Structure 1
Amino acid sequence: MEGAGGERASAIAPIMKWKNDFSRLFQYFLDRSTPHMVERWLGTLVIVMVYVLRVFFIQGFYIVSYGLGIYILNLLIGFLSPKVDPELEALDGASLPTKGSDEFKPFIRRLPEFKFWYAITKAFCIAFLMTFFSVFDVPVFWPILLIYWIVLFILTMKRQIMHMIKYKYVPIDLGKQVMFFLASPNDFSILINRT
């Protein structure tokens, strides 16, 4: 009896070693891709295009696409939301700064950009793999799903934008903001001549 268990362990050992090696190599390349944001998103765009072309040519798997759209909408809400919700923070007594003397709190996302990218890329890869199994090709009338998703997107984004306006935060980082103060029209001409 012990021989059978030892044979099973010796058969599983190479598989576990391969799994650990693959996991380590995958994590290495994932870590190296972190600073290359544009390249990562371009790669994801290629994966999205392949998925869209596959669904278009097969003329099916609309329920998979709908589920993917709902998942991406959920990720987008996490990406656009602050880590600490101002509504809940206001209940605790703390609030966002309203005066110049209040403490500055930078915008920190609930879902960081890298995790957002990774989740979207993984979701499209899984959805692409699902298109190879006919069990996921549930017959539906896709225009209804599309209209429902658009309505859901509009209502969700409206609520998120109203939240942004109410608590005065902008989730998009456009770099360092620089303001120019001009004392006289003469300063404007000096500014133009510098550039």
Structure 2
Amino acid sequence: MLRGFYIVTYGLGIYNLNLVLGFITPQVDPELEEGPELPTKSDQEFKPFVRRLPEFKFWWSSIKSLWIGMAMTLFTMFDVPVFWPILLLYWLLLFTVTMKRQIKHMIKYRYLPFTTGKKKYASPGGKKEAGAAN
């Protein structure tokens, strides 16, 4: 709406990308083999996914960064004239390369930092029971 402040927006994008990476990365890197292992489907014991950046700190830091970014738009010294499509393309390239590396790491060590809901079990005979809810 303000038509400007592209550097502020770019900085917010980079900072929030860094927060997302901390949120989806395990606290202990499995390549170093220190500490507890990440849970896999073959494990019988439940091992929770411990994040490098806890969820509350992730959201709190994101909200603070947005408020700081909004406050920066009140001062004209942060309205640096730049050609915004270059910043956008560079950020998209940075996002793509970073997430590709992170997703490869997730696939290599077989961890998923997000839950997909409660596990559903079938009855022993494989058929639904008459009184069971869907």
TM interval, shorter chain, is: 0.7 to 0.9
Do structure 1's residue 169 and structure 2's residue 111 form an aligned pair? yes
In the alignment, the residues of structure 1 paired with residue 132 and residue 36 of structure 2 have an alpha-carbon distance, to the nearest angstrom, of: 45
Equivalent residue, structure 1, for 2:99: 157
In the alignment, the residues of structure 2 paired with residue 156 and residue 181 of structure 1 have an alpha-carbon distance, to the nearest angstrom, of: 43
- What is the deviation of 1:182? 4.4
In the alignment, the residues of structure 1 paired with residue 68 and residue 103 of structure 2 have an alpha-carbon distance, to the nearest angstrom, of: 30
For structure 2, which runs of at least 5 residues remain unmatched after alignment?
none
- What is the deviation of 1:173? 2.4
- Quote the RMSD (CA, aligned, Å): 2.2
The structure-2 alpha-carbon separation of the partners of 1:95 and 1:137, relative to structure 1 and needing over 3 Å to count, comes to same
- Do the aligned partners of 2:28 and 2:35 also contact (CA within 8 Å) in 1? no
In the alignment, the residues of structure 1 paired with residue 85 and residue 39 of structure 2 have an alpha-carbon distance, to the nearest angstrom, of: 45
- What is the deviation of 1:95? 4.8
- Which residues in structure 2 correspond to 1:113-132 (within 5 Å)? 113-132=55-74
Equivalent residue, structure 1, for 2:17: 73
Q: More helix by proportion, 1 or 2?
A: 1
Q: Map Cα deviations across residues 156-183 of structure 1 (whole Å, 9 max, x no partner).
A: 1111111111111111123432332543
Q: Map Cα deviations across residues 12-69 of structure 1 (whole Å, 9 max, x no partner).
A: xxxxxxxxxxxxxxxxxxxxxxxxxxxxxxxxxxxxxxxxxxxxx2200000100110
RCO greater where, 1 or 2, for CA within 8 Å and sep 6 or more?
2
Quick one: which amino acid aligns to residue 132 of structure 2? R
Do structure 1's residue 194 and structure 2's residue 110 form an aligned pair? no
**Number of aligned positions between the proteins:** 132
- Which residues in structure 2 correspond to 1:126-141 (within 5 Å)? 126-141=68-83
Identity %: 58
In the alignment, the residues of structure 2 paired with residue 156 and residue 97 of structure 1 have an alpha-carbon distance, to the nearest angstrom, of: 23
Task: Report runs of 4+ in structure 1 exceeding 6 Å deviation.
Answer: none
For structure 1, which runs of at least 5 residues remain unmatched after alignment?
1-56
Do structure 1's residue 87 and structure 2's residue 31 form an aligned pair? yes
